[in-house]
Amino acid sequence: MTVAGDERKNHPSNTTAKWVLSQVTLVHPMRDQSLDFLKSLVNTPSPSGYEERVAQVYREYTSSYAHQVNTDFHGNTWAVLNPDAEMKIMLAGHMDEIGFIIHYISDDGFLHFSPVGGHDPTIPLGQRVWVHGKERVAGVIGRKPIHLLEPGERDKKPELHEYWIDIGATKREEVEELIELGDPVTFQVEFQHLLGDRAVARGFDNRVGSFIVAEALRLLAEEGGLDGGVGVYAVATVQEEIGLRGARTSAFSIDPQSGIAVDVNFAIDHPGLSKARYGQLDIGKGPSVGRGANINPIVYRMIKEAAAQNEIPIQISPEPGGTGTDANAMQVSRSGMATGLLGVPLRYMHTPCELLSLTDVEQCAKLMAGYCRLVKPDTDFTPRVF
Ligand SMILES: [Zn+2]
């Protein structure tokens, strides 16, 4: 489907920027409702530990086609098909994003913060943020200007504790009317189309994974092909960015035989990265499929089979050990889960402008659904020689 400049149509600078419009054709492969769902997932703030709002978006969307939707005490949200089946597949896409948390408010009204998840300390300076207090409060991240840095400071990488948030307040009491300690903070950036099928957003890592598991479940519900004896649990997990914590609790309670995690994966297709060192992974050439110790070899074979059957291009992503994804926690849950890992190639990970291809996202959901259709009640996931 081709959509002409939807964001730009209503832009006030439209009249002076017609030359931009005439050259840009936005392409996306998704149904409009699906794209709207993806946009509302990424535009909803969800730093680790504060996922309630995005969980609500997830529940509302999936409850129109899932047989059961449930949120556990940890905050993980599951949408299920065939909840009574004994053979169970868990699909996991974490719905938390990196962010900040307020830990101190100074007498003169500045807010000091700690990171939630792994931040590049060169990123925050000059960014606009939302502080999610009693209401959403706008602020900016400040530091002393380059002119006033001491000799030697200019060459040094900044540290996160050197920054503060300025909401325009003049004293602590003014801040405390709106914000309390422990309130989370996110960058203001939201979803935007780029050329072709490319898009950027804050925290595609990994609301795009939650989107994919929800879409895979929808495809199974609406297009069929899932064995009635196989249950599928599409889980939007919590707290991945701070140690794969939600995957651990949800894998334990679902207790599935097999599972697939989906997360973003490093695109090795831009300046500054060596393919000889990191391997090749290109945006727009299909989802990545993990292979290595974190991946059950039978699951890997079945994912490849599903890709071939559905003519979905894939890129192999060798993983020498446990990955930094939910697949790691899932594989070692209880007595071991037959686990697979899919990835969406992504540039600029953990910055406010994470970039990906919407076609890759769509293909990844189809691949996940294709895998689920291949699982039968008697599928044997024991690694063995063929
Ligand atoms: Zn991440």
* CATH numbers and ranges of domains, the chain: 31-97+202-374 (3.40.630.10), 99-187 (2.40.30.40)
Instruction: Give the mean model confidence (pLDDT) for residues 288-294.
Output: 98
Q: How far is the CA of 148 from the centre of ligand 1 (A)?
A: 34
Least confident of 11-25, 197-211, 353-367: 11-25
Q: How far is the CA of 119 from the centre of ligand 1 (A)?
A: 9
Compare 280 and 152 and report the one with higher pLDDT: 280
CA distance 366 to 347: 22
Q: Does the model's pTM come out above 0.85?
A: yes
Annotated catalytic, 240? yes
pLDDT at 29: 81
pLDDT at 151: 85
pLDDT at 28: 75
Q: How far is the CA of 173 from the centre of ligand 1 (A)?
A: 35
Q: How far is the CA of 228 from the centre of ligand 1 (A)?
A: 35
Q: How far is the CA of 241 from the centre of ligand 1 (A)?
A: 6
Q: How far is the CA of 206 from the centre of ligand 1 (A)?
A: 7
Q: How far is the CA of 350 from the centre of ligand 1 (A)?
A: 6
The distance of Cα 299 from the centroid of its chain, to the nearest Å, equals 22
Q: Would the pLDDT of 5 be above 50? A: no
Alpha carbon distances (Å) from 166 to 111, 124, 190, 281: 7, 13, 21, 39
Q: How far is the CA of 205 from the centre of ligand 1 (A)?
A: 5
pLDDT at 234: 98
Catalytic member of 240, 319, 354, 362? 240
pLDDT at 155: 86
Instruction: Give the mean model confidence (pLDDT) for residues 343-350.
Output: 98
Least confident of 155-164, 258-267, 326-335: 155-164
Residue 317 is which amino acid?
S
pLDDT at 23: 52
Instruction: Give the mean model confidence (pLDDT) for residues 159-175.
Output: 97
Contact 247, 74 (CB under 8 A): no
List of E strands, 149-273: 164-166, 184-187, 192-193, 198-201, 230-237, 258-266
3-state SS class at 103: strand
Instruction: Give the mean model confidence (pLDDT) for residues 122-151.
Output: 94
Nearest to 382 by CA among 323, 291, 299, 261: 299
pLDDT band at 3 (very low <50, low <70, confident <90, very high): very low
pLDDT at 322: 95
How many beta carbons lie within 10 A of that of residue 243, not counting itself?
13
pLDDT band at 93 (very low <50, low <70, confident <90, very high): very high
Instruction: Give the mean model confidence (pLDDT) for residues 24-47.
Output: 90
Alpha carbon distances (Å) from 125 to 34, 120, 142, 161, 352: 34, 11, 6, 11, 12
Compare 22 and 164 and report the one with higher pLDDT: 164
Q: How far is the CA of 97 from the centre of ligand 1 (A)?
A: 7
pLDDT at 7: 43
Q: Would the pLDDT of 13 be above 90? A: no
Least confident of 2-6, 83-87, 105-109: 2-6
Mean pLDDT of the chain: 93
Q: How far is the CA of 294 from the centre of ligand 1 (A)?
A: 18
pLDDT at 27: 76
Q: How far is the CA of 45 from the centre of ligand 1 (A)?
A: 14
Least confident of 2-6, 109-113, 265-269, 302-306: 2-6
